[in-house]
Amino acid sequence: MTMTEPDQQPDSQCVLLIDDDADFLAEAQRALKSHAISSDTLQDGSQAVHILARGKHSVICLDWVMPGVTGAELLSDIIRLFPYLPVIILTGVSDLGNVVTCIKQGAYDYITKPLDAAKLVSVVQKAFVARELTSQNRKLTGYLQGQPLANPEFFSDIITCNERMLAIFKIIEASRTSRQPVLITGETGVGKELIAKAIHRASGLKGALVTVNVASLDDTMLSDTLFGHKKGAYTGATENRMGLIEQAKGGTLFLDEIGDLSPASQVRLLRLLQQNEYYRLGSDVLHKSDARILTASNAQFDRLLAAGSFRQDLYYRVSSLHLHIPPLRERREDILPLVRHYLEQICTHMNRPVPRLSGEARQALLNYDFPGNVRELINRVSIALTYSRNDILMLEDFHDLKPGTKRPGTLLRRVGSQQFILHGVFPEFPTLDEVEQFLVEEAMAESNGHRGIAAELLGISRPTLQKRLARIEGKRYGEED
Ligand SMILES: Nc1ncnc2c1ncn2[C@@H]1O[C@H](COP(=O)(O)OP(=O)(O)OP(=O)(O)O)[C@@H](O)[C@H]1O
């Protein structure tokens, strides 16, 4: 039997210390506590499995030599029942010969007695990270094997049916309990800020999501904005001011455009990430920060690193997890659902009926590269609606969009494990009539309005096409079939 992994990792990182020596347990517990690591102790190994089954602990420290149930016996039980939990063996120097055996058996690491407090803390901290990575890997493997999203509501404001985007959602879900920094990259307008919001939502952190665009701030303004200042720190600092880090307490600090940080600001950010500590300007009182740090940039970091304009150590720090959002031209199946979504949103706002798209306009939108990505798409939809009061948006309403040639395969490609591209064209499962109208309009667009060619493409006679076109026109103007 293997105990299944609890769905979520424990909120707090808690160690279970198992040793028959009460003094050793007290000393180890004190050492961990001084680094804000909580622990429970057990002097008798016979209760260990029962307690671990509650799922509270993420790391175990286990004495090798104990009366009753020995460390060796317990280790094999723990590895069999809780294979995802790192076990650190506590052993005397004279028993070092056993270490090879227990590491081979699956123990994570060992610490020798008498206790070296710094060593204990450092091995336990590493084990927490290992535990987190194992947990993320297990979840990811499950997802990639086809499990659906467990919490689609985290991503409800992101319109997509693209496989790479869905994989990013799954990574966010799998790492939702992590407090490590995340770097989000991608071209301008791809939705990096929306992804940051989703990460914050998924984290369940109670504090706020505080966003700062660091590109517009020089070194002093950045320090002032992030860390705050003490009254009198500089001319004009007439009041104490709390920094945004403090506002993000218990929450998330999202630093946008970090590729543009000056060298001095990079050093400040590195220090904050390494030590989770900072001083307000003009103050020598040290403040602690527990805000999760997310960063984003549309820069290409390999170039910045090669040019030496971005510190390598900072890059490694901010990119514990690196999510790259693909541009819209690499996920064309998202274009029409996004157009429809924003048509509906803007029309609701303008209190007008939602127009349809002509086949030509639809084809041109599908073929356009959108260098400004979703932001540009929203602008184009909004401008088209401003120019056209008709109940059908024509190609001419989308300025500068050239009718392109159809990309082979785009419309029929399978996306995701259960979704077809049909969902990329129709918001809901379409009726036969809707599919027919779509195909007729596509054929007319493809043939540049030549009815003979369109009829041939559709495999019907010209008079039949004529009838269907008349029916579509009739519907458009509210006539009965
Ligand atoms: N998949 C999506 N679904 C719905 N709206 C989206 C999607 N992606 C982006 N948007 C919208 O597009 C606009 C731009 O998105 P966002 O600000 O998140 O992009 P960004 O990558 O952070 O851009 P920049 O690098 O310029 O800051 C926003 O209005 C956002 O709501």
Q: pLDDT tens for residues 447-462?
A: 778 888 888 888 888 8
pLDDT over 70 for what percent of the chain? 88
Instruction: Report the candidate in 295, 293, 251 with the shortest Cα–Cα distance to residue 275.
Output: 293
pLDDT tens readout for residues 315-331: 988 988 899 999 999 99
Query: Ligand 1 atom 24: the closest Cα is on which residue?
Result: 188
Both structure tokens of 158: 């992101």
Nearest CA to ligand 1 atom 16: 191
Q: What is the DSSP string of 244-261?
A: HHHHTTTSEEEEE-GGG-
Decide if pLDDT at 93 tops 80: no
Average pLDDT over residues 174-181: 87
User: Which atom of ligand 1 is closest in space to residue 256's alpha carbon?
Assistant: 27
Structural domains in the chain, CATH included, are: 14-141 (3.40.50.2300), 155-326 (3.40.50.300), 330-476 (1.10.8.60)
Confidence bin at 374 (pLDDT 50/70/90) = very high
Instruction: Concatenate the DSSP letters of all residues of 390-423 into one string.
Output: SSEE-GGGSTTPPP-PPPTTTTT-EETTTEETHH
The more confidently predicted of residues 425 and 399 is: 399
- Rounded Cα–Cα distance for residues 357 and 344 (Å): 12
Residue 198: predicted pLDDT: 97
Residue carrying structure tokens 């063996």? 89
Ligand 1, closest atom to CA 378?
12
What pLDDT does 7 receive?
A: 42
* Spatial separation of the C-alpha atoms in residues 156 and 9, rounded to whole Å: 24
User: Which amino acid residue places its CA nearest to atom 8 of ligand 1?
Assistant: 191
pLDDT, mean of residues 41-55:
86
* 372 pLDDT tier (thresholds 50, 70, 90): very high
Place 182 in a pLDDT band, splitting at 50, 70 and 90: very high
Pocket residue to mutate for ligand 1, from 193, 211, 373, most atoms within 8 A of Cβ: 193
pLDDT band at 44 (very low <50, low <70, confident <90, very high): confident
DSSP 3-state assignment of 295?
strand
Beta-sheet pairing, 286-288 with 277-279? antiparallel
Whether pLDDT at 418 is above 60: no
pTM of the model: 0.63
Residue 3 has pLDDT above 60, yes or no: no
pLDDT at 336 over 80: yes
Mean pLDDT (whole number) for 293-297: 96
CA of 168 to the centre of ligand 1 (A): 15
Q: What is the pLDDT of residue 426?
A: 61
**Predicted confidence band of residue 11 (pLDDT cuts 50, 70, 90):** very low
Residue 229: the pLDDT is 87
Give residue 193 CA to ligand 1 midpoint distance, Å.
6
Confidence of residue 410 (pLDDT cuts 50, 70, 90): very low
Widest CA span in the chain: 96
Instruction: Report the pLDDT averaged over residues 40-67.
Output: 88
pLDDT tens digits, 203-248: 999 999 999 999 878 888 888 899 988 887 788 778 888 889 999 9
How would residue 475 be classed by pLDDT, with cut points 50, 70 and 90? low
Determine the pLDDT at residue 77: 85
Give me ligand 1 centre to Cα 372, in Å: 10
Instruction: Please identify, by atom number, the ligand 1 atom nearest to the C-alpha of residue 325.
Output: 21
* pLDDT band with cut points at 50, 70 and 90 for residue 142: low
Q: State the pLDDT at residue 414.
A: 36
- Ligand 1 is surrounded, with C-beta below 6 A, by 158-160, 186, 188-194, 256, 298, 338, 374-375, 378
- Please report the pLDDT score of residue 355 as a whole number: 92
Asked whether residue 417 carries a pLDDT value surpassing 90, the answer given is: no
Q: Nearest CA to 422 among 404, 438, 444, 445?
A: 438
- Residue 237's pLDDT is 77
Q: What is the ipTM of this complex?
A: 0.98
Give the atom of ligand 1 at the shortest distance from the alpha carbon of 191.
Answer: 18
Tokens (6 digits) for 384: 């088209």
Arithmetic mean of pLDDT, 398-424:
51
pLDDT at residue number 428: 58
Q: Is the pLDDT assigned to residue 82 strictly greater than 90?
A: no
Model pLDDT, residue 143: 63
So what's the pLDDT on residue 253?
A: 96
Q: What is the rounded average pLDDT for all residues in the chain?
A: 84
Q: In this predicted model, what pLDDT tens digit does every residue of 116-133 receive, in sequence order?
A: 999 999 999 888 888 877
Query: Exposed, middle or buried: residue 214 (CB in 10 Å: 0-12, 13-18, 19+)?
Result: buried
Residue 416: pLDDT band (50, 70, 90) is very low
Q: Strand order of the sheet with strand 182-185?
A: 209-213, 252-256, 292-297, 182-185, 321-324
Residue 449 Cα to ligand 1 middle (Å): 35
Confidence of residue 10 (pLDDT cuts 50, 70, 90): very low
The single-letter DSSP state of residue 281 is: B
Mutate to test the pocket of ligand 1, among 164, 213, 374, 377 (most ligand atoms within 8 A of CB): 374
Q: Quickly state the pLDDT bin for 415 (edges 50, 70, 90).
A: very low
